[in-house]
A and B are shown apart, each in its own frame.
Chain A
Amino acid sequence: MRRTMTTRPQSVCTKAFGLAVLVLLMTAGASLILGAGPVPIADALAALGGGGSEEARFVLVELRLPRLAVGITTGLALGVAGALLQALTRNPLAEPGLLGVSAGSAFAVSLAIMLGASTVTLTTLVAQGGALAGCSFVIAAARMKGLGNDPIRLVLAGATLSGLLLALTSLLMLADQRAADEIRFWVTGSIAGRQWPQLLAALPTLLLGGVIVVAVAQPLASLTLGERVAVGLGQHPGRVRLLVVLAVALLVGAATALAGPLVFVGMVVPFLARALAGADIRKTLWLCLPVGPAVLVLADTVSRLVAAPSELPLGVVTALIGAPVLLAIVRARRMPTL
């Protein structure tokens, strides 16, 4: 168990990164070739090479390609946000979906939908505002004596917040039946039918989040050594925490605007990344870049294969994948504070 918590030699990390990129390429390929529709695999392969039937080219270029791009972006954002939250709360179970960050984001979006919001740009900003509120709660809870030191109690507090926010979202649905369908769709999480405009609307703030992550990775790594050490190394813990919270809110908000509140992705991805690269947050973040998209794109491909000609909501699949991982982490007692 300790093995995964130690830093590994650089060559191992490079290999792990290469492996993760390879897996991502394979899942991306699969998501273009496989779908709920009537396009045969051979036809889809031909379309990938520029040939194939007109129908296959349409499905690949107009439906599956934007969806893949959205899936990659969402997975990347949730994976990185999960790793940041886990490092910040020193809790391997922390993740935006469990701690109420995504739920806060979804609640804000639901409220906006009910009030008549329609533009995709607005939705992204609203979702990020909600995520920021949820994130602030998590940090406040994590810094509370007793609560923050115990990973499971922090997760329970987060689950309570998530439950409360989801109940409030249900209340909104009862109040406005018209918006209910749209909100219900949101709350389950899906990237079906997502198109380029939604992705473009989320990109600027995502990039901003990315820049903050790059700037904050080194100080955050020092902070995980303990507050005193960090101060000794010339860091300002308060400032670092604030920036991390901001980055998480930007990333999770954008991801929720694109796909709804997806649970467990932010936990599974850093878990896999740490298993591959060790506990150093900088390496975890690197590994999250290919692992996050691979996990999400894989889940999305499964979501459209199991229930064809309809689709399973992506949120259901990520929960099905994530719940056993959560149990495994808790049962294997991989519960050291990070």
Chain B
Amino acid sequence: MTLYEGALDTAIATGAEPVGAVITRGGTSVASYIQPLADDIEIVGAPGETNLEAVLASQPDIILAPGWTSPQQYRLLSLIAPTVAPDVPPYQSDSWIRETRIFARALGREAQGEAAIDKVQRRIAEVAKLVAANVPEGQRDAAIVRWMPQGALVMSPGIFSATLLAAVGFDVSDAGLVNAGRPHSHPLSEENLSAIDQSWLFLATLNKDGKEALDAASRSPAFRRLQAVENGQVVAVDGQEWTSASGPLVAGQILDAVAAAVSGRKP
């Protein structure tokens, strides 16, 4: 039973068979990238809103919970099955690796866990070469933004996709807008969009289709003035993958999108 997107990703990457999961933020089921691999998985709630009765009904052998599970919730979950909530500081460059190891060990699949991490590291090295070859030094500054109706959210350089971007050579910035320990800023006033004026802009919504975000953003005159827009270096990305998920499987998707973007291909 996985109550955290990173746990679902890791469980499937290591070959385990999760019986239940929570929906992805803003979606109605698990994230689309993982749907084909988690066919017919039972939905037992939303992030942070677990339906305990549904968890109980599916009689899990082990529960993989997010690190932010409250002590009360942890106690209740432990009454149902042994529960693992990784005590890893969030928004660090190696948070995902440490979480993956903990979840893999809990599942008794340490070797598979290490293999999954290695696979991501190799792909990082490949994409890093692509970036080095295709993006001139000094033009590798980037920001990840989630475009919401109430304004742009600047994502923290500590979120999973941002750490991958940094690992392949981008210089990810939040322009000092994100408070420590937070995944993203408050919705930014349109007047302050220039604060995220980077060479590259990775633009997402919670919708699967980043293109929709791009269309919405393009209607904003402040957005049209950004240098990333003028240089054609706005990359529309899947918000489910980029701003919500984590784990070895989604890492592959994110790195593929970066590779496609820097080599000028459509992802």
Question: Residues on A close to B: CB < 8 A?
Answer: 35-39, 55, 58-59, 62-64, 177-178, 180-182, 184-186, 188, 190, 192-193, 195, 304, 307-311, 313
Known: A195-B221, A311-B151. A38 touches B27 (CB 8 A): no
B254 to chain A, nearest CB (A): 22
B192 touching A180, Cβ below 8 Å: no
* Contact among A55, A177, A181 for B148, CB-based, below 8 A: A181
**B77: interface (CB < 8 Å):** no
Name the B residues within 8 Å of A181 (CB-CB). 26, 148-150, 205-206
A309–B195 touching, CB < 8 Å = yes
In contact, A192 and B151 (Cβ under 8 angstroms): yes
12 CB < 8 A contacts A-B? A58-B221, A180-B26, A181-B26, A181-B150, A182-B149, A184-B149, A185-B149, A190-B150, A192-B151, A308-B192, A309-B192, A310-B192
Q: A177-B28, A195-B219, A310-B186 are in contact. Are A35 and B191 (CB under 8 A)?
A: yes
Complex Cα distance A178/B149, Å? Answer: 12
Please judge, given known A-B contacts A180-B26, A190-B150, A311-B187, whether A38 and B221 are in contact too, CB under 8 Å: no
A309 and B177 form a contact (CB under 8 A) = yes
Q: Which residues of B contact A177 (CB under 8 A)?
A: 26-28, 206
B222 at the interface (CB under 8 A from A): yes
Contact of A63 among B26, B27, B205, B221 (CB under 8 A): B221
Question: A105 CA to B221 CA in the complex, in Å?
Answer: 28
Chain B interface size, as a band, is 20 to 34
**B185 close to A (CB within 8 Å):** yes
Chain B residue at minimal CB-CB distance from A304: B189
The residue that A38 contacts in the complex, of B185, B192, B225, with Cβ under 8 A, is B192
State the 6 A-B residue pairs at the shortest beta-carbon distance, nearest first: A37-B191, A36-B189, A310-B186, A185-B149, A62-B221, A309-B192
Residues of B within 8 A of A193 (CB): 151, 190, 220
Name the CB-closest residue of A to B154.
A309
Please, which residues of chain A bring their CB within 8 A of the CB of B70? none
Q: Please, which residues of chain A bring their CB within 8 A of the CB of B12?
A: none
Task: Report B-chain residues with C-beta under 8 Å of the C-beta of A55.
Answer: 194
- Residues from chain A with a CB closer than 8 A to the CB of B28 are 177
B interface: dominant SS: loop
Do A39 and B191 form a contact, CB below 8 Å, given A180-B26, A190-B150?
Answer: yes
Q: Could you tell me the distance between the alpha carbons of A36 and B187 in the complex, rounded to whole angstroms?
A: 12
Q: A310–B222 contact, CB under 8 A?
A: no
- Most chain A beta-carbon neighbours within 10 Å: one of B187, B191, B194, B219: B191
**Quick one: CB contact mask for B174-198 with A, threshold 8 Å, 1 for yes?**
0001000000011111111011000
Not counting A36-B191, A37-B194, A59-B191, a sample of 7 additional A-B residue pairs whose C-beta atoms are within 8 angstroms of each other reads: A37-B189, A38-B192, A39-B191, A58-B221, A62-B222, A177-B28, A193-B220
Neighbouring A residues of B191 by C-beta, 8 Å: 35-39, 59, 63-64, 304
Which chain B residue shows the least CB distance to A66? B221
| Contact among B27, B186, B207, B225 for A58, CB-based, below 8 A | B225
Pair B192/A37 contact, Cβ less than 8 Å? yes
- In the complex the two chains form, what is the Cα distance from A190 to B185 in whole Å? 19
Cα A193 to Cα B185 in complex, Å, equals 18
**Which among B26, B188, B220 is the interface contact of A310 at CB below 8 angstroms?**
B188
Q: Which residue of B lies closest to A310 (CB)?
A: B186
Chain B residues whose C-beta falls within 8 Å of the C-beta of A192 in the assembled complex: 150-151, 189-190
Distance A188 CA – B149 CA, assembled complex (angstroms)? 12
How far is the CB of A201 from the nearest CB of chain B, in Å?
Answer: 14
